Amino acid sequence: MSLNETHDPALESWVESANQPGMDFPIQNLPFAVFRRADSTEQFRGGVAIGEQIVDLQAALQTSVFGQHLRDFAALAARPSLNDFMAAGPRAWSALRLALSRALRRGSHSQAALEPCLVPQREAQYALPARIGDYTDFYISIHHATAVGKLFRPDQPLLPNYKWIPIGYHGRSSSIAISGQELPRPHGQVLKAGASEPVLGATTRLDYELELGLFIGPGNVLGSRVNIEQAESHVFGLCLLNDWSARDIQAWEYQPLGPFLAKNFATTISPWVVTLESLEPFRTAWERPSTDQQVLTYLDSPRAHRAGALDIALEVYVETDSMRRAGLPPHRLSRTNFKHAYWTIAQLIAHHTVNGCNLQPGDLLGTGTQSGPQPEEAGSLLELSRGASEPVRLSNGETRTFLEDGDAVILRGFCERPGARRIGFGEASGRVLSRRE
């Protein structure tokens, strides 16, 4: 993909809220979601964010906004899940996004037809953007991997394969839910300090993980593999992702086969999927230290070095029960950036398929916890509290080592740079239920 007229920072929309400074969803973004009006029995359908509004694609299909050649693409995006639209590929995604950009621009002749198709986001209820057949979670922040390794394996924090392959594991797709997820505290086996036998109980080390999620578009045939040069054409877009983790359960079970019950009880994603095309202005060079070995050929490409990374700011907030009752704003725990990732999006796809594994439209890949090089850029409480040895002080005087009942975790993400409009991801929020609920 490359820059085109949809990225022009001077573009404004006749939807006035889209032109506000700091808006996540200007006309340069146009992310996709699946929604219906809250407290209704309407069918879920596809929509596109513009400012504080949603373009109802089902309603828009009843207008003359889309020419005949675009109606098929719009019809796919208007369905109760985006799988078929994701499968249609970059040509379809880009063509529909361009048509919507032109129709929503200030002075467009389509304004009168599209205005009745707008639904306020505050009135919407969201569903998962796609039927997620498979979910793979990677581990591509070397800063997170090193920090966690020091806690779990102080003698060998970073295992020798980390710099050679994008580490990942297959997660549980059935427990992925949309923003607003509420989860009870999970139970599992825990080996307490000094004990010789585990016990079954509720986790006392519940944590979040600040991640991005990648939705797969066109898949590949079983037995084939995706070349790194074509890998990004298989990625529809990105969302925010919180891979909730029970660290005490994880510490007991993760060897020799990795996470299981510590991870599969809940994963929360944001409703809006931001297309790769809208993120083009925020590409940056992908680099690794000169002292590290270079990657194998199937994971290397000139484009990766030139523009394989994305400059996406990521933030995590916590809202405690006490903050909620007092009407206080959530406390920001950390801020980091996806550009610090050790592996690129294209490398994840190339590696995932190099053995012939078939990806399918709607599959979800998690990036793993995104932490930066500084301690305050950590993407989990495990890191921020140094394994519970240094409690994190919140703005209202409370402290946290891990999440407590009633805590809500809010993830936010956005791209900003001079000469471009801000592109945002909205929020991915989830709350730990209190024992009384």
What CATH code is carried by the domain that includes residue 402? 3.90.850.10
Tell me what pLDDT residue 1 has: 65
Q: How many domains does the chain have?
A: 2
Residue 437 domain-assigned (yes or no): no
| Rg (alpha carbons) of the chain, rounded to whole number | 22
Which three-class secondary structure state does DSSP give residue 307?
A: helix
Burial, 383: exposed, middle or buried (Cβ in 10 Å; 0-12, 13-18, 19+)?
Answer: buried
Active site (annotated) includes residue 69? no
Residue 40 domain-assigned (yes or no): yes
Residue 20 domain-assigned (yes or no): yes
CATH number for the domain including 98?
Answer: 2.30.30.230
Tell me what pLDDT residue 46 has: 98
CA 388 to chain centroid = 26
Q: Rounded to an integer, what distance in angstroms lies between the CA atom of residue 76 and that of residue 33?
A: 13
The residue among 60, 95, 127 that closes a domain is 127
Which three-class secondary structure state does DSSP give residue 295?
A: coil
Instruction: Write the DSSP string, 241-267.
Output: EE--EEHHHHHHH-TTT--STTTTT-E
Q: Rounded to an integer, what distance in angstroms lies between the CA atom of residue 190 and that of residue 20?
A: 49
Residues 428 and 315 in one domain: yes
Residue 43 domain-assigned (yes or no): yes
Residues 93 and 190 in one domain: no
Omega of the bond leading into 256 within 30 degrees of 0 (cis): yes
Q: Rounded to an integer, what distance in angstroms lies between the CA atom of residue 59 and that of residue 395?
A: 45
Residue 398 domain-assigned (yes or no): yes
Residue 201 domain-assigned (yes or no): yes
Residue 372 domain-assigned (yes or no): yes
**Element at 69 (helix H, strand E):** helix 68-77
Q: Rounded to an integer, what distance in angstroms lies between the CA atom of residue 377 and that of residue 362?
A: 30
Helix axes 68-77 and 90-104, enclosed angle (nearest 10): 100
231 CB contacts (<8 Å, ≥6 apart)?
345, 346, 347, 348, 349, 350
Residues 34 and 141 in one domain: no
Tell me what pLDDT residue 174 has: 97
CA 385 to chain centroid = 24
Residue-by-residue pLDDT tens, the chain, 437 positions: 689 999 999 999 999 999 999 999 999 999 999 999 999 999 999 999 999 999 999 999 999 999 888 999 999 999 999 999 999 999 999 999 999 999 999 999 999 999 999 999 999 999 999 999 999 999 999 999 999 988 888 888 898 899 999 999 999 999 999 999 999 999 999 999 999 999 999 999 999 999 999 999 999 999 999 999 999 999 999 999 999 999 999 999 988 888 899 999 999 999 999 999 999 999 999 988 889 988 999 999 988 889 999 999 999 999 999 999 999 999 999 999 999 999 999 999 999 999 999 999 999 999 999 999 999 999 999 999 999 999 999 999 999 999 999 999 999 999 999 999 999 999 999 999 987 66
Residues 61 and 141 in one domain: no
Tell me what pLDDT residue 436 has: 67
How far is the first Cα of the chain from the last one, in angstroms, to the nearest whole number?
48
Do the Cβ atoms of 354 and 231 come closer than 8 Å? no
Residues 198 and 214 in one domain: yes
The residue among 85, 105, 127 that closes a domain is 127
The strand pair at 313-319 and 408-415 is best described as antiparallel
Residues 49 and 164 in one domain: no
Residues 121 and 140 in one domain: no
Residues 284 and 422 in one domain: yes
Residue 120 domain-assigned (yes or no): yes
Residues 373 and 414 in one domain: yes
Residues 347 and 423 in one domain: yes
Tell me what pLDDT residue 372 has: 96
Q: Rounded to an integer, what distance in angstroms lies between the CA atom of residue 58 and that of residue 46?
A: 7
Residues 309 and 423 in one domain: yes
Residues 365 and 423 in one domain: yes
The residue among 101, 127, 153 that closes a domain is 127
- Phi/psi for 248 (5° steps) reads -75, -35
Domain enclosing residue 122, as ranges? 5-127
Active-site entry in 144, 340, 351, 352: 144
